Each structure stands twice: as structure tokens, then as C-alpha cells.
A = this chain, B = another copy of it.
């Protein structure tokens, strides 16, 4: 129980809450381990829980019926996901797949909803996170509508570096195990186009590539691609 409280304290949306609320949340949280490749839930499944990540990475994506994929986000430690099904009794609007072995906290919607109804602080935290998500989503829409593929590629790299990169004296290492195809599915473009963009960024000295690892050598140069 105490261990759970510690865990929950490190999740941003909960961290501001007072001790008693933390303990309540801890008491309704179930911890679970998932192996890489596991589907936590699929788009269309009944939405019944909120998840937060203790460790590992989770990919959130939508698929079209002709098999194409759009990756909406990649979440890591401390992030919450599936928050959209709270209070809504809707299906999950996207699929969650484990990219790196993960330990995840799970809170059933019914339990959390009961709590939120009496804890405005918690509601506020949820509002904040939804605000942020909405903001990001609209930014992406703008990029998708108004930027070309190389710019979008740079944008995604920069975002990934910020969220998941590890800085080592000036350079940032990105060790997500993303295939080019998956990167393309985040950017909304073709595998080959990503290859070409990365080659370009490499040639100009912005990044360095060794297999799946991408090193951002010169963030400023990469940011030079941004526009809009």
C-alpha cells in the first residue's frame, strides 16, 4: 500500500494531491506488468480504466480498415493514458501497445469517477492534462495540414527528443525502438520518405544514425527546419 502511494506521487496528475487523496488512489490502483508487444486495449474496446506508466513505453495509435496506422503518441514513465474514457462511457478511441516492457498502474473508471466527484483538485488535474493533450493534438493538426514531410519529420524528432531523449553533454540520444515504418506512421508519411529525410538531416550534420538509435548532434540546426 505504501509502496503504491510512492508510485502515485510521481505521476504528475496526482502529485499535487494531498496525502489522503493519494492513499485513496493507491488503494484503488492495480499494478500490472506487460511485455513488449502486448496490446493493452484496442480501439473499439469498452473503455473501463485509466492507466499510468511507472516504467516502459506505450504506443497509442489509430488504424484505418485498410491496415494503415497513425501513431498519436508514445508515452513513457509518469504519463497517463486512456483518460478520454473517464465520465464518458465510450470505447477507447485508439489502441495501446507496449513498446518496451512496462509496469503500469490501472484505475478502474468507476472507482476513479467516484473519487473525482468528491475531489475537485483531482478533477482540475484531469482538466489540465486534457487541456495539454488537446493543445498538442491541435498543434499536430496544424503541422499535418500546413507543413511538408521533412518539416514534420524534424518536428517529430524534436518532440521525441524532448519526451524520451537522454542528454549527454550537449547531444541527445533517442533510443526508442521505433522502426522507420513506425516513425512514418507518427509523421503521416511513407517509410521511404522518412529514410530520405533522415539521410538529409544526417548529411547536414543535424543528427547521427546508428540503427534504431538516433543522436541529435545539432538541435539548433534541426530546429532550423521548423516553420509555421
Contacts and interface: CB of A to CB of B under 8 A. Distances in A.
B138 A93 contact: yes
A96 B168 CA distance: 43
Interface string A150-179: 000000000000000000000000000000
Give 4 closest A-B pairs by Cβ, nearest first.
A123-B123, A145-B188, A64-B228, A130-B130
Interface in A125-144: 126-128, 130-135, 137-142, 144
Interface in A44-97: 62, 64-66, 68, 70, 72, 83-88, 90, 93-94
Nearest to A140: B141
A117 interface: yes
A110 interface: no
B138 A94 contact: yes
**This protein's copies in its complex:** 2
A144 B141 contact: yes
A130 B133 CA distance: 9
Given A138-B62, A141-B137, A144-B188, A88 B131 contact: yes
Interface residues of A, number: 45
Contacts of A127: 86-87, 123, 126-127, 130
A124 B131 contact: no
Given A68-B146, A88-B132, A119-B120, 13 more contacts: A66-B227, A84-B134, A87-B131, A90-B135, A93-B138, A117-B121, A120-B120, A127-B127, A127-B130, A134-B134, A137-B137, A140-B141, A144-B145
A118 interface: yes
Contacts of A139: 93
A116 interface: yes
Contacts of A118: 120
A75 B162 CA distance: 34
A194 to B, nearest CB: 14
Nearest to A72: B138
Contacts of A128: 87-88
